[in-house]
């Protein structure tokens, strides 16, 4: 003990260190295992606020989305055992999204460990393959050290989630250890001038170059530098799965998203490119159409892979040039190229623009018309969110994200993400317009978090694409087991009445022509809004009905 230094318990030390790191919001559900932390948060209201959630899964989704949106770790606090297992869905989502996040989990006291005490879990075993790092504090004096490392781990390289277990006695023990005073400043890794020259030379030699970009950790300056290079070099740009908000969709070089349900022109761009510059991309299954668009491990295309984490380079595809560099540092070094590929780029852009031309939908509420209206009226800094399901085609493929718009959508395909993500977005940016797209099944995964939204005064507008089915699974059923419906039809509550019970403005929208006025009323509401859209299950995809899907499968089996 250092003479004259005040004593504090581990909970106070943890909270004061979080404040010093810059944390301003924590999402969670209270538990007796971390009462000392909750007590310390009593004194940080207005500086580090605890957002009280209704389920640990919703809280973890909020933290994951907050980290993805802000670039700083989303903080989540839950109790041991059931609290931790409920929160695991958010950890998995943060990992697949490359979102910075720190999950604090209460733990049994160190004197009870290993006995399968009440709600005990081995957190390293449970989260070891799910998070970037899982650790348990074993000495109160090490709280600042472990927290500092967690913050750096969550935000650098490929960002992701860290799980910290907090034994109860570590939070109540007294110490004179000083808290952290500021976060570490870690410079992005950068490529050498020779490597940049080699990269530019290889791109210049191409006949059909392509830039594939995505991931997190982008800055406005880095994104602008990449856009300037792509536009002055006239090279087409594809975004990785659910990262189309990281590049200005109104740019003439933007050509769409490499994603689930990938459009033919996007597949052709990847297959036909002779040189691909992949920046900040982890080459997930959806971006590669099940790893079929590039040969594993050696693509036919000449691949230049740039990533802030050296563990991502060569993990699946062996590049011709692998570059360990942060996306912003790399983009800032690029200089314009001249090449004979303008037709290659312009044809791809034309195909992207044409993808918005879908036929009228066989549905009381036509989502083609709905999204066209939203493209016209939503502000340039809108934040869209969604969970998982066939309905995500509407915010993901029928909306153009300008340089200030954002998309929060789970690469993990987690249902229930959209509503918590929208609440987190309103917590982070109260003045911005936030619109969540949710399927009726997706909405019911976390609809109780409407209470969180009301209590935190963070109410988004939620559009429920209500077709009465688990649409994605029903589509797979009709393709593989046509006309044998099993376990995919839902009986739903009155969503408008439910939302009004939570204090939201709410309406049932029965017809397409009623949507514009209903959405105007939603915009005017100070309480947030839920619009329940009457959508036919026949409108399962923009260009193929459920009946057509079934008929095609039956014909193939005949």
| Max Cα–Cα distance, the chain, nearest Å | 86
Apex 8 CA angle, 5 and 10, nearest 5: 135
Distances (CA, A) of 105 to 32, 39, 153, 332, 486: 11, 16, 17, 40, 38
Q: Given a cut of 60, is residue 4 above it in pLDDT?
A: no
Q: Given a cut of 90, is residue 1 above it in pLDDT?
A: no
Q: Given a cut of 90, is residue 220 above it in pLDDT?
A: yes
* CA dihedral over 189, 194, 200, 203, signed as positive or negative: negative
User: For residue range 129-152, what is the model confidence (pLDDT) as tens digits?
Assistant: 999 999 999 999 999 999 999 999
All domains of the chain in start order, with CATH: 8-175 (3.40.50.970), 193-354 (3.40.50.1220), 367-557 (3.40.50.970)
User: For residue range 62-82, what is the model confidence (pLDDT) as tens digits?
Assistant: 999 999 999 999 999 999 899
Residue 427: cis peptide before it, omega within 30 degrees of 0? no
Of the pLDDT bands very low, low, confident and very high (cuts 50, 70, 90), residue 476 is very high
| pLDDT on residue 6 | 83
User: For residue range 232-287, what is the model confidence (pLDDT) as tens digits?
Assistant: 999 999 999 999 999 999 999 999 999 999 999 999 999 999 999 999 999 999 99
Q: Given a cut of 80, is residue 112 above it in pLDDT?
A: no
Cα gap 267→288, rounded to integer Å: 9
Burial 249-266 (b: 16+ CB within 10 A, else e): bebebbbbbbbbebbebb
Apex 342 CA angle, 336 and 345, nearest 5: 95
End-to-end CA distance of the chain: 82
Cα gap 106→142, rounded to integer Å: 16
Q: What is the mean pLDDT of the chain?
A: 95
Closest C-alpha among 148, 124, 149 to residue 135? 124
Contact by Cβ (8 Å): 259, 285: no
User: For residue range 170-209, what is the model confidence (pLDDT) as tens digits?
Assistant: 999 999 999 999 999 999 999 999 999 999 999 999 999 9
H or E stretch at 302: strand 302-307
Average pLDDT over residues 481-493: 95
Average pLDDT over residues 115-130: 79
Average pLDDT over residues 370-374: 98
| pLDDT on residue 123 | 84
Closest C-alpha among 264, 266, 216, 217 to residue 237? 266
Distances (CA, A) of 453 to 16, 307, 424: 26, 36, 9
Q: Given a cut of 90, is residue 120 above it in pLDDT?
A: no
Cα gap 531→470, rounded to integer Å: 19
Could you list the beta-strand ranges (E) of 158-232: 161-167, 174-175, 209-213
User: For residue range 520-536, what is the model confidence (pLDDT) as tens digits?
Assistant: 999 999 999 999 999 99
- Please report, rounded to a whole number, the percentage of residues in the chain having pLDDT higher than 90: 93
Q: What are phi and psi of 508, to 5 degrees?
A: -95, 125
Of the pLDDT bands very low, low, confident and very high (cuts 50, 70, 90), residue 360 is very high
pTM of the model: 0.96
Cα gap 504→44, rounded to integer Å: 29
| pLDDT on residue 124 | 85
| pLDDT on residue 354 | 97
Q: Is 324 helix (H, G, I), strand (E, B) or coil?
A: strand
Closest C-alpha among 540, 485, 557 to residue 549? 540
| pLDDT on residue 111 | 67
Strands 74-78 and 237-239: unpaired
Average pLDDT over residues 116-123: 72
- Please report, rounded to a whole number, the percentage of residues in the chain having pLDDT higher than 70: 97
Q: Given a cut of 60, is residue 384 above it in pLDDT?
A: yes
| pLDDT on residue 24 | 98
Cα gap 93→548, rounded to integer Å: 33
Of the pLDDT bands very low, low, confident and very high (cuts 50, 70, 90), residue 3 is low
Of the pLDDT bands very low, low, confident and very high (cuts 50, 70, 90), residue 117 is low
Distances (CA, A) of 499 to 36, 83, 505, 540: 35, 26, 7, 25
| pLDDT on residue 125 | 86
Q: Given a cut of 60, is residue 319 above it in pLDDT?
A: yes
| pLDDT on residue 126 | 86
Listed in sequence order, the residues at least 6 apart from 512 whose beta carbon sits closer than 8 Å to its beta carbon are: 364, 365, 366, 369, 370
Q: Given a cut of 80, is residue 113 above it in pLDDT?
A: no
| Token pair of 268 as six digits | 């052709």
């Amino acid at each position: 003990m250092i003479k004259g230094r005040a004593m504090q318990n581990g909970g106070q030390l943890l909270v004061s260190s979080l404040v010093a790191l810059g944390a301003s919001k924590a999402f969670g559900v209270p538990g007796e295992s971390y009462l000392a932390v909750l007590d310390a948060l009593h004194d940080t209201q207005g500086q580090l606020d605890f957002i009280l959630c209704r389920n640990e899964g919703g809280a973890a989704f909020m933290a994951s989305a907050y980290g993805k949106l802000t670039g700083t770790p989303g903080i989540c606090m839950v109790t041991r055992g059931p609290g931790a297992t409920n929160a695991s869905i958010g950890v998995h989502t943060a990992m697949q999204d490359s979102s910075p996040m720190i999950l604090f989990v209460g733990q049994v006291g160190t004197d009870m460990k290993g006995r399968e005490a009440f709600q005990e879990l081995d957190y390293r075993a449970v989260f070891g393959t799910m998070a970037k790092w899982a650790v348990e504090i074993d000495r109160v004096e090490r709280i600042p050290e472990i927290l500092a490392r967690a913050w750096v781990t969550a935000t650098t390289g490929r960002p992701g989630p860290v799980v910290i277990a907090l034994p109860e006695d570590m939070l109540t023990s007294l110490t004179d250890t000083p808290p952290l005073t500021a976060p570490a400043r870690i410079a992005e890794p950068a490529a050498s001038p020779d490597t940049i020259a080699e990269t530019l030379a290889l791109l210049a030699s191409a006949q059909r170059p392509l830039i594939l970009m995505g991931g997190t950790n982008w800055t406005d300056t880095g994104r602008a530098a990449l856009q300037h290079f792509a536009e002055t070099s006239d090279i087409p740009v594809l975004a990785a799965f659910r990262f189309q908000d990281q590049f200005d969709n109104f740019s003439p070089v933007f050509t769409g998203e490499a994603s689930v349900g990938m459009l033919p022109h996007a597949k052709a761009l990847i297959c036909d490119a002779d040189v691909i510059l992949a920046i900040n991309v982890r080459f997930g299954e959806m971006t590669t159409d099940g790893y079929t668009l590039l040969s594993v491990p050696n693509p036919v295309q000449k691949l230049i892979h740039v990533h802030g984490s050296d563990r991502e380079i060569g993990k699946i595809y062996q590049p011709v040039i692998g570059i360990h560099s942060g996306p912003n540092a790399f983009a800032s070094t690029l200089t314009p190229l001249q090449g004979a590929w303008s037709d290659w780029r312009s044809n791809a852009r034309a195909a992207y623009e044409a993808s918005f031309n879908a036929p009228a939908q066989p549905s009381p509420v036509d989502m083609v018309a709905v999204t066209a209206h939203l493209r016209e009226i939503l502000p340039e800094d809108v934040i869209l969110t969604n969970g998982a399901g066939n309905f995500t085609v509407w915010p993901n493929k029928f909306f153009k994200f300008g340089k200030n718009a954002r998309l929060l959508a789970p690469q993990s395909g987690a249902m229930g993400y959209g509503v918590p993500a929208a609440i987190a977005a309103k917590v982070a940016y109260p003045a911005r317009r936030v619109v969540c797209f949710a399927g009726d099944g997706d909405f019911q995964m976390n609809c109780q978090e409407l209470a969180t939204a009301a209590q935190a005064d963070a109410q988004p507008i939620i559009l429920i694409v209500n077709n009465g089915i688990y649409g994605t699974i029903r589509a797979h059923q009709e393709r593989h087991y046509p006309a044998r419906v099993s376990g995919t039809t839902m009986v739903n509550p009155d969503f408008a009445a439910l939302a009004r019970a939570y204090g939201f403005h709410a309406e049932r929208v029965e017809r397409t022509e009623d949507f514009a006025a209903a959405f105007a009323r939603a915009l005017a509401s100070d309480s947030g809004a839920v619009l329940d859209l009457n959508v036919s299950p026949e409108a399962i995809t923009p260009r193929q009905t459920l009946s057509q899907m079934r008929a095609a499968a039956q014909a193939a089996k005949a």
